[in-house]
A and B are shown apart, each in its own frame.
Chain A
Amino acid sequence: MDMIKLNNRDYEWEEGLTVRRLLQKETFTYPRLIVKINNVLVPDEEFESTVIRDGDDVKVIHLLAGG
């Protein structure tokens, strides 16, 4: 099975998986996110166009530190 790492956990990869699609699949709806692929920051405006490749190390860091 083709896999990526999402926040250091195994995650099933699919062909054409974009950052936006990943966020939708995971219902990552919180607006303050830091997304990095292989430690390179992905700007918010590039979520739609950035394709995640098989084996990538993806970090989606939520900057929510609560009440």
Chain B
Amino acid sequence: MNIEKLKSAHKLLKEYKYELGKIERGYTNRTLYINLGDNTIKEKTVTQLMKDKFIGGKGFGLYYLWNAVTPDTKWNSPENEIVIASGPVGGITQYPGSGKSLVCSLSPLTGMPMDSNVGGYFGPLLKFSGFDALELQGKADKDVIVFIDGNSGTIRIEEAPEEAIDSHILGEQLTEMYAENEEDKRNISVVSAGSAANNAYIGLLNFTFYDVRRKQIRLKQAGRGGIGTVFRDKKIKALVVKFAGVKGNLNNPADQSSINKAGIKLHKEIHDLDDKQNRMRQVGTANIIEVMDQYDLLPTHNYKFGGHPDTYKISSKVFTSMITQNTPDGCWYGCSMSCAKAVDRFELKTGPYKGQKVIVDGPEYENAAGLGSNCGIFDPYAILELNFYCDTYAVDTISYGTLTAFLMECYENGIINKEITGGLELNFGNSSASLEMLHQMARGEGFGKLAGLGIRNLKRIFVEQYGADPVFLNDIGMEQKGLEFSEYMPKESLAQQGGYGLTNKGPQHDEAWLIFMDMVNNQIPTFEDKAEALHYFPMFRTWFGLNGLCKLPWNDIAPADNKLTEEPAKIPDHVQNYVDIFNGVTGKKIDKNELIVQSERVYNFQRIFNIRMGYGKRIHDAIPYRAMGPVTAEEYLSRQERYDKQLKELVGFNPEGKTTEEKMAALRAYRKDQYEKLTDAVYKRRGWTMDGVPTVEHLKAIGMDLPELVEVVKKHL
């Protein structure tokens, strides 16, 4: 690649010099604002209110976004922002999983604030360069790159016409361009999208880190909700941050020793126990593929079923053999969990990079389930090829997998046909058709471009243009709030239906994953038990996003004596670690209860933000029936014994002598009623009205009765 030629085509639009800052107890106390429309660059002071009420990370992102937009703002309005922030704990190197960036924006899919948690070095390097957050507003006229040099205190906006768009090339080009030499490459992180984000609403952002052993960039994804689409709509080609001098104490923490102590303890647990527990160091999150299948939870054929006889072909053993082993794969310094797995020298068989040998970051569990089993695809090579192209084109693998599965069911039901798809034979299992649709999405052509609008838009188009039955499409289209479901089968777990449905951003499992506690362990049998879990776990998990942390080291490894504790599902020892590292960095003295309240403030803020944007009420928390039970006779009959037993024992309906349709109707009425009762219980536990609106009393109780929030909720009480 001719980097000099690419660089010489750059045109400097704005340069800004700033004083290098110092981090005090996890905060630089300063954020960076950039407007791409008029090339304004300015610094903002982090207020005490921001630190007290919003903590950092996603909290700062939502706070700035609230101030930037109005109820009329759309995802592609110039005033919509993309905010990227680490958090006060982010950037420490002693505790695994401490390098995350949180990204917030109004989503093209949902119209509401979206948040996404991503690895790679950008967030911590941004902080070490002097900023707790980066706000991007406005739209550029031509493709630009924003370059932040955290050692010289320089920020530049440059027109950049000639670099590639796709991330696996662009990331390499910009790392090469802005590094002084090979040694310097580790000091650079690039944020970019890809060509599909120019066309599809499911565009993601790739965050790089430079893998010094492979001498290649690696890509981590802020996947959900189309933030990459917003990025390209603003004509941002890339963000580049450069900071040399990462050390373990740059956060200038109040008490380094307590952080070290917690870190050493967790490193030892991972070293001693990971091979016996989840094998995160061998295969990452893909370790659960066959586990999900065995418990009837692996979504198959658009969530019709929870398992398939061919799952062994894409099991974790298969991917373990393809993933390069025995190399440290942490996406931030000091993460001994090392789950950022990769397949090296993978030869592509299709598309514009056919024949090239590339590195595939993954597969994550979600990729194998979404791109694979949910579409009836059990070919590991096809899954890796789809995984690679989704990443470099900037396509959210979860949304892509779920919407492709939906399209395949539509195709097999005759709702769409070859004429409509332009020749794509979208039968379950047709990996070639899925790949071609993905390439079309990247080129902005044909049926692939249409598919990129997401399930909610597709349902509307199929009804309006092809006379499809809206009831059936709403039953099988696995989206809620406009966001596609992630890759777990929730039919047999009412609590997980709530874990998907009673969320702020849509059905993404990062708020609550309760399937085993509920369905298998039967630990939360009553509505109140489930509501308590749907209070605690979403609040606990929200906290990672406030602090620049990863969820995985919390419960994908557990101390040997965890089973002896009162509440093993919470991993109490690790909860205490988080209290200790937060206090160690910030000098505050929170306990495990205050940790939850910190999250509650931001969680309720986000809920009220949704309401302010015209959503966020009970009606928006409804989920498609496919998430609750069998829509079709085929599904019912595949698990007839289970459903008949439930009708008899739970519903009080004798299935003998009844038609399948009669039994399905009885089960449907029961399950929908259960979901409504669960919703009542959860709203009550969360301090919300039965329409899902946080009450003023609750806001007061958690110290979040800010006037602008009270003003919004009062209109709905």
Contacts and interface: CB of A to CB of B under 8 A. Distances in A.
Interface of A: 7-9, 27-32, 34, 41, 59-67
B558 A32 contact: yes
B517 interface: yes
Nearest to A26: B520
Contact of B488 (A41, A59, A65, A66): A66
Interface in B519-543: 520-523, 525, 537
17 contacts: A8-B525, A9-B522, A29-B291, A30-B516, A32-B278, A32-B558, A41-B564, A60-B520, A61-B521, A61-B568, A63-B568, A63-B569, A65-B517, A66-B488, A66-B513, A66-B515, A67-B486
Given A32-B277, A67-B285, A67-B509, A62 B521 contact: yes
A63 B562 contact: yes
Contact of A30 (B291, B488, B525, B569): B291
Contacts of B295: 27, 30
Contacts of B520: 7, 28, 60, 62
Most buried by B among A28, A30, A67: A67
A29 B520 CA distance: 12
Interface of B: 276-278, 285, 288, 290-291, 294-295, 365-366, 486, 488, 509-510, 513-517, 520-523, 525, 537, 555, 558, 562-564, 568-569
Given A65-B569, A67-B509, A8 B517 contact: no
Ranked nearest first, the 6 interchain pairs of A and B with the lowest CB-CB distance are A66-B513, A7-B522, A34-B563, A62-B516, A65-B555, A64-B516
Contacts of B522: 7-9
Contact of B510 (A9, A34, A60, A67): A67
Contacts of B513: 65-67
Interface SS of A by simple majority: loop
A16 B568 CA distance: 30
A36 B277 CA distance: 19
Nearest to A64: B516
B506 to A, nearest CB: 15
A31 B509 contact: no
Nearest to B551: A67
A60 to B, nearest CB: 8
Nearest to B512: A66
A21 to B, nearest CB: 17
A13 B619 CA distance: 45
A66 to B, nearest CB: 3
A63 B525 CA distance: 17
A61 B568 CA distance: 9
A59 to B, nearest CB: 8
Contacts of B525: 8
A31 B277 contact: yes
A27 B294 contact: yes
A66 B483 CA distance: 19
Contacts of B558: 32, 63
Contact of B366 (A31, A34, A67): A67
Given A30-B291, A66-B513, A41 B366 contact: no
A46 to B, nearest CB: 14
A1 B365 CA distance: 42
Contacts of B568: 34, 61, 63
A17 B516 CA distance: 24
B293 to A, nearest CB: 10
Contacts of B516: 30, 62-66
B270 to A, nearest CB: 14
A8 B515 CA distance: 16
B523 A61 contact: yes
A29 B294 contact: yes
Contacts of B366: 67
Given A27-B294, A64-B516, A67-B365, A7 B509 contact: no
Nearest to B556: A65
B517 to A, nearest CB: 7
A23 to B, nearest CB: 11
Nearest to A62: B516
Contacts of B514: 65-66
A9 B521 CA distance: 10
B9 to A, nearest CB: 42
A24 to B, nearest CB: 12
A8 B529 CA distance: 15
Most buried by A among B285, B288, B523, B563: B563
A38 B366 CA distance: 37
A32 B279 CA distance: 12
A40 B648 CA distance: 33
Contacts of A29: 290-291, 294
Contacts of A59: 521
Contact of B563 (A31, A41, A66): A41
A62 B514 CA distance: 11
A32 B569 CA distance: 11
Most buried by A among B510, B522, B558, B564: B522
Contacts of A63: 516, 555, 558, 562-563, 568-569
Contacts of B278: 31-32
A54 to B, nearest CB: 21
Given A41-B563, A59-B521, A63-B516, 7 more contacts: A7-B523, A27-B295, A31-B276, A31-B277, A63-B562, A65-B513, A66-B514
Most buried by A among B290, B516, B562: B516
A41 B564 CA distance: 8
A32 B79 CA distance: 48
